[in-house]
């Protein structure tokens, strides 16, 4: 088994495991469909690529010094998720009035939230630091091999987003009554709360 295969399997297992990012993606897909989760997913992927880059260039040694930044990202992202969850729960089941359009999601805010959710976990960089040397020859990392690692991360995350998005989409379409919409909305709001809580306690 090649080192890249080991990295792919380990990263896939980590990325697909339930956690703040997955809870956030599910809540977005439940409330607005799979397309609504894409900006958040982009931010999460960007954060994972930054973590990989930091590990490759050896920045893990200064991770402890960045503690205050991690804390600010952590509580800022959690607070935003709590607010979104409260809003979603409060408006659960509310029909969109005639002539009223659904409020568009701020793409920049969603990307920033996804980035904060990923970067607020300083232990994530140690995942790469621990995994990379045991699977990849770090002394021989080139632009091509680095690009291949980035492609693995992007490919796995696309599969994860699509997989969880399909599950959420099936749930949305299976429950179309007013009471079911309220339930789905409240579930989405609850998952935002859970996502924020997981960020705080991890």
CA-to-CA distance for 79 and 133, rounded, in angstroms? 36
Q: What is the pLDDT of residue 101?
A: 39
Q: What is the pLDDT of residue 43?
A: 93
Which parts of 136-177 fold into alpha helices (H)? Answer: 143-174
**Number of Cβ atoms within 10 Å of the Cβ of 39:** 20
Which parts of the chain fold into alpha helices (H)? Answer: 3-16, 20-32, 38-56, 67-90, 107-119, 123-135, 143-174, 178-201
Q: Is 44 exposed, middle or buried (0-12, 13-18, 19+ CB in 10 A)?
A: buried
Per residue in 114-137, is it b (16+ CB within 10 Å) or e — as a string? bbbbbbbbbebbebbbebbeebbe
Q: What is the pLDDT of residue 107?
A: 87
Q: What is the pLDDT of residue 161?
A: 92
Helix (H, G, I), strand (E, B) or coil at 58: coil
CA-to-CA distance for 101 and 85, rounded, in angstroms? 20
The structure tokens listed for 26 are: 């599910």
pTM of the model: 0.70
Helix (H, G, I), strand (E, B) or coil at 197: helix
Mean pLDDT score across all residues of the chain: 76
Q: What is the pLDDT of residue 81?
A: 67
**Residue-range domain boundaries for the chain:** 3-95+104-201
Mean pLDDT of successive 10-residue stretches along the chain, which has 202 residues: 79 79 84 87 93 76 58 69 74 50 68 86 70 69 87 93 86 66 70 69 64
* pLDDT one-digit tens code per residue, 37-66: 899 999 999 999 998 888 887 755 555 555
């Amino acid at each position: 088994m090649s080192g890249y295969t080991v990295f792919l399997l380990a990263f896939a297992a980590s990325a697909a495991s339930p956690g703040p990012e997955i809870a956030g993606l599910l809540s977005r897909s439940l409330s607005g469909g799979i397309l609504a989760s894409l900006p958040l997913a982009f931010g999460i992927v960007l954060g994972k690529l930054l973590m990989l880059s930091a590990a490759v260039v050896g920045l893990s040694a200064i991770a402890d010094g960045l503690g205050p930044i991690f804390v600010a990202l952590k509580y800022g992202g959690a607070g935003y998720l709590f607010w979104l969850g409260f809003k979603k729960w409060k408006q659960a089941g509310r029909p969109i009035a005639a002539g009223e359009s659904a409020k568009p999601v701020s793409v920049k805010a969603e990307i920033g939230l996804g980035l904060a959710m990923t970067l607020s976990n300083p232990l994530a960089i140690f995942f790469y630091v621990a995994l990379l040397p045991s699977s990849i020859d770090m002394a021989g990392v080139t632009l091509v091999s680095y690009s291949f690692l980035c492609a693995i991360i992007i490919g796995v995350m696309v599969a994860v987003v699509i997989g969880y998005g399909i599950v959420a989409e099936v749930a949305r379409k299976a429950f179309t009554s007013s009471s079911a919409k309220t339930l789905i909305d409240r579930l989405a709001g609850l998952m935002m709360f859970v996502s924020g809580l997981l960020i705080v306690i991890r």
